[in-house]
Amino acid sequence: MATDLRQQPKLAPASKYEQLVEEQLARARGRIRRLDILGSILALLLGVLAYALVMGIVDKALDLLEAVRVTAFVVFLVALCGYLGLFAFRLANWSVNPYYAARRLEETIPNAKNSLINWLDLRDEPMPPVIRGTLGRKAAKDLGAADLEQAVNGRRALWLAGSVGGLVLVLLVWCLMGPSQFASLLRRAFIPFEKGAIAHHTRIELLQPHGGNLTVGVREPVRIRVKVTGHVPRVNQPDALNLHFRYRQSDPYIVRPLEEDAEGEWLKTLVPDDVQTGFWYKVTGGDAATPEYQVKVRAIPQVTRFEVKYHYPDYRRLPDVQVN
């Protein structure tokens, strides 16, 4: 009986060696995909935290205008949306190339001879079972010496996780140092359209004079009294509570320290020689300062001489008498 030499050989069923190779490659591809997704998420968190930290530091130092904060937020939002769109697209369409996974595994095999790459090249080709079995057995043997943890390591993910953890720690310490200021800076960074000033660690409330501005008479003393909450700086420190006053707005300030009374309020009394003809003043302490107010001096009418004039009745025909 004649034999048809042109007939193609049938594909042999996958052997246990080939199944082992497939499983190992699938594990490697799955690990690569998981680490890539984790790295993308950590990179996203790193970007958000870095934006919050940088904007907070710059805003605290420069008290940024609303237009600058809005511009920065729009740029950040555009970059964030672009990154999320790219991440979603990759998540839905991206798959790990088996050749890439095989190459990573072969890099950990001593004296590797591309057995995995060869197996991938020929696995779908028709060939005698003996040759197929030899290729599968060689690939499986080499895979036994491969180190999956080394081939697909998580150094990038660990580095990103460490960076995220470091930024979280910095932000947490900043928050503990001044929760109200930290919250106000975050609001200004992520809600730049909201009107709001930067909160301070130290808050100074002027109690006396009420309203800040004051008019006094000549030779009258002036008492400045404030209530301090939040961080109260210690006396004799660079940021201690001080009264700054000057007689003209072009003059440098004269600085006098405030003193704490029994009620926990802080005050300073300026004697008439300090008041002179009036002055401008403000109170500073910690990272806070009051607006500048003005004390005016106005002369008050005073009785310095009495003058009495006596007028007699007409029938007495006496002249008027004036007594000083």
pLDDT band at 20; cut points 50, 70, 90: confident
Statement: residue 29 has pLDDT above 70: yes
pLDDT at 269: 94
Strand partners, 296: 215, 278
Do 137 and 29 share a structural domain?
A: yes
What confidence score (pLDDT) does residue 11 get?
Answer: 40
Are 184 and 270 contained in the same domain? no
Shared domain for 21 and 156, answered yes or no, is yes
Residue 304 lies in a domain: no
Q: Compare 175 and 108 and report the one with higher pLDDT.
A: 175
| Banded model confidence at residue 149, pLDDT cuts 50, 70, 90 | confident
Q: How far apart are CA 185 and CA 199, in angstroms?
A: 8
Q: What is the pLDDT of residue 57?
A: 93
User: Do residues 253 and 259 make contact, with C-beta atoms less than 8 angstroms apart?
Assistant: no
Per residue, the 3-state secondary structure of 63-79, as one string, reads CCCHHHHHHHHHHHHHH
Q: What is the structure's pLDDT at 180?
A: 82
Assess whether 133 and 60 both reside in one domain: yes
Specify whether 138 is located in the same domain as 162.
yes
Instruction: Determine, yes or no, domain membership for 321.
Output: no
153 and 44 in one domain?
A: yes
Provide the domain limits for residue 59.
16-190
pTM of the model: 0.63
Q: Which of 107, 95, 96 is CA-nearest to residue 150?
A: 107
Specify the CATH number for the domain of residue 211: 2.60.40.10
For residues 37 and 174, membership in a common domain is answered with: yes
Burial class (CB in 10 A: 0-12, 13-18, 19+), 18: buried
User: Which contiguous run of DSSP H or E holds residue 243?
Assistant: strand 242-246
Is residue 318, in this structure, part of any structural domain at all? no
Residues 63-90: tens digit of each pLDDT? 889 899 999 999 999 999 999 999 888 8
Contacts of 11-20 with C-beta under 8 Å, sequence gap 24+, read: 11/126, 12/129, 12/132, 12/133, 14/136, 15/132, 15/133, 15/136, 15/137, 17/133, 17/136, 17/137, 17/139, 17/140, 18/119, 18/123, 18/132, 18/136, 18/139, 18/140, 20/140, 20/143
112-131 tens-digit pLDDT: 677 777 777 767 677 777 77
More confident residue, 91 or 49: 49
196 in a structural domain? no
Q: Do 163 and 218 lie in a common domain?
A: no
Mean pLDDT of the chain: 84
Q: Are residues 77 and 47 in the same domain?
A: yes
Judged by average pLDDT, the poorest of 88-102, 166-180, 184-198, 232-246 is 88-102
CA-closest candidate to residue 180, choices 204, 203, 205, 201: 201
Asked if 240 and 285 count as a contact pair (C-beta separation under 8 A), the reply is: yes
Return the sign of the alpha-carbon dihedral for residues 20, 22, 28, 33.
Answer: negative
pLDDT of residue 3: 39
Distance CA 35, CA 158 (A): 10
170 Cβ partners below 8 Å, 6+ apart? 53
pLDDT confidence of residue 282: 96
Residues 25 and 140 in one domain: yes
Q: How many domains does the chain have?
A: 2
Instruction: Give residue 145's pLDDT.
Output: 67
Residue 115 contacts residue 25 (beta carbons within 8 Å): no
